[in-house]
Amino acid sequence: MPELQQPLPDAPDEKVGFAVVGLGAYALNQIIPNLGSTQHAKLTALVSGNAEKARTVGRAYGVMEEHQYSYDDFDRIAEDDSVDVIYIILPNALHREWTERAFAAGKHVLCEKPMAVTAEDCRAMIDAGKRAGKQLMIGYRAQYDPYNLRAIELVRGEEKAIGEPHLVFTEHGRMLKPKEEQRDEWRAVKELAGGGSLYDIGIYSLNGARYLLGEEPVSVTANYREPSEKEVDVEEGVAWTMKFPSGATANCSSSYRVEQAKRIFVQGTEGEVTLDPATDYYVRNLYVKTKEKNTQLIIPQANQFTAMLDEMALAARENRTPKTPGEEGLRDVTIMQAIYRAADSGKEVTL
Ligand code: NAD
């Protein structure tokens, strides 16, 4: 046996079985391919409104027709012993209903971000998990990313690489193309998306500021950046400022009108940590700058997807609270609702 770069995976029959609900862009391009590279998880079932697509995907990944479900016959998944975890990758406004259905079927749930549209929805999802005695995790992949984890250590760890952190600047943006891209059609419709750029990508700015500073904001002010296009009934851009108990401030933004932005800067009394891009699927760049030096840190084989999926698998196997539970999703949704209230009123909102 050579020296192993990572431990051997569990034997296939010992891996935790995942059903994926919604065979859209993220499920098919990122999640399902990465499930095959995990230590503890495997794909065992598919849930889709399109039987032909489910058959094609099932053939490719070895998921037999008896483990393929439509949205209508989903509830019989309760009898499918190959499924331990149900991973919900549907438009945001459907997350609550499907989480409740998955818990009613007696399975653990991994749900995509944003957890739901309102804090009330999030609380109902957490309660459904407690009633079922099952775990609920939110797919905050960046919190499993070795680059983001190293950045947290630099900012908050014993080494205090940048002294006392004081300011976070973070921006997430992309062009929304509802007429060209299928995955953007529902994102332009409030009823399905729940919110606009904030719910979709601004959530990375928000969550990033919270995990890098390691504290919760106490107040927020916000502005909409521009009026939205006619065919888009969600906000396209919002900028907001959060104040934290330590005295640190985070200036955050999200936009559907810029080509690509996924960056986070943390500035402290002795230097700056930069993640740019911070939350890309495949490329992250991490820099630490102090008076003495400017260093780029390279972490080989950093895969946030497998780390996240393995955390869900282990939390299910051990029936323990995962690292990013429903309560973490609830915090972000509560703050995002406060950001909208602050932008609507032009007033500072206390959290
Ligand atoms: P998508 O449009 O590509 O996929 C959505 C899937 O839901 C499609 O298969 C669609 O057919 C299905 N669907 C079921 N009912 C629907 C309905 N009523 N209207 C529209 N579609 C319906 O979207 P996506 O980009 O895969 O996003 C899905 C979820 O995953 C969202 O919550 C999104 O925020 C999240 N996501 C997370 C990340 C991440 O990095 N964590 C990345 C992309 C998407």
E-only strand ranges, the chain: 16-21, 41-47, 68-69, 85-88, 108-111, 136-138, 165-175, 219-224, 237-243, 249-255, 257-268, 271-275, 286-290, 294-297, 349-350
Per-residue pLDDT band for 227 (boundaries 50, 70, 90) equals confident
CA max distance for the chain: 64
* Distance (Å, whole) CA 193 – CA 68: 26
Q: What CATH code is assigned to 146-301?
A: 3.30.360.10
Mean per-residue pLDDT for 284-297? 97
Tell how far the Cα of 114 is from the centroid of ligand 1, in angstroms: 11
Mean per-residue pLDDT for 89-105? 98
Give the closest residue (by CA) to ligand 1 atom 44. Answer: 26
113 is catalytic: yes
Q: Is the pLDDT at 331 greater than 80, yes or no?
A: yes
Q: Is the pLDDT at 189 greater than 80, yes or no?
A: yes
| Closest residue by Cα to residue 220 from 93, 127, 345, 135 | 345
| Closest residue by Cα to residue 340 from 182, 244, 224, 209 | 224
Give me the pLDDT at residue 133, please.
98
Give me the pLDDT at residue 191, please.
97
For the residues of 316-345, what is the DSSP string, one character each?
Answer: HHTT---SSBHHHHHHHHHHHHHHHHHHHH
* Distance (Å, whole) CA 146 – CA 106: 32
Give me the pLDDT at residue 253, please.
97
- What average pLDDT does the structure give for the chain? 97
For the residues of 198-212, what is the DSSP string, one character each?
Answer: IIIIIHHHHHHHHHH
Question: Contact, 248 vs 266, CB < 8 A?
Answer: no
- Who contacts 123 (Cβ-Cβ below 8 Å, separation ≥6)? 330
Q: Which of 204, 211, 256, 340 is an active site residue?
A: 204
Which has the minimum average pLDDT: 113-127, 157-171, 189-203, 228-242?
Answer: 228-242
Per-residue pLDDT band for 162 (boundaries 50, 70, 90) equals very high
Tell how far the Cα of 91 is from the centroid of ligand 1, in angstroms: 5
Tell how far the Cα of 223 is from the centroid of ligand 1, in angstroms: 27
Q: Where in the chain is the domain with CATH 3.30.360.10?
A: 146-301
Counting from 1 in the atom list of ligand 1, the atom nearest the Cα of 53 is: 9
E strand or H helix at 315, and its extent? helix 304-317
Mean per-residue pLDDT for 289-298? 96
Q: Residues lining ligand 1, CB < 6 A?
A: 22-27, 49, 89-92, 94, 112-113, 139, 141, 182-183, 186, 192, 200
What are phi and psi for residue 41, nearest 5 degrees?
-115, 155
Q: Which of 15, 113, 134, 262 is an active site residue?
A: 113
Give me the pLDDT at residue 5, please.
85
Which has the minimum average pLDDT: 20-24, 229-233, 245-249, 251-255?
Answer: 229-233
| Closest residue by Cα to residue 232 from 278, 175, 279, 287 | 175
Q: What CATH code is assigned to 12-140+309-314+318-324?
A: 3.40.50.720
The first and second tokens of residue 254, run together, are 């999200």
190 is catalytic: no
Q: Where in the chain is the domain with CATH 3.40.50.720?
A: 12-140+309-314+318-324
* Distance (Å, whole) CA 2 – CA 223: 57
* Distance (Å, whole) CA 21 – CA 9: 24
Question: For the segment 31-56, what is each residue's pLDDT rounded down to a tens digit?
Answer: 999 999 999 999 999 999 999 999 99
| Closest residue by Cα to residue 323 from 157, 135, 147 | 135
Give me the pLDDT at residue 301, please.
87
DSSP-derived letter for residue 261 is E
Tell how far the Cα of 23 is from the centroid of ligand 1, in angstroms: 8
Give me the pLDDT at residue 96, please.
98
The burial of 340, by beta-carbon neighbours within 10 Å (0-12 exposed, 13-18 middle, 19 or more buried), is given as buried
Give me the pLDDT at residue 252, please.
98
* Distance (Å, whole) CA 194 – CA 182: 17
Question: Contact, 27 vs 60, CB < 8 A?
Answer: no
Does this model's pTM top 0.85? My answer is: yes
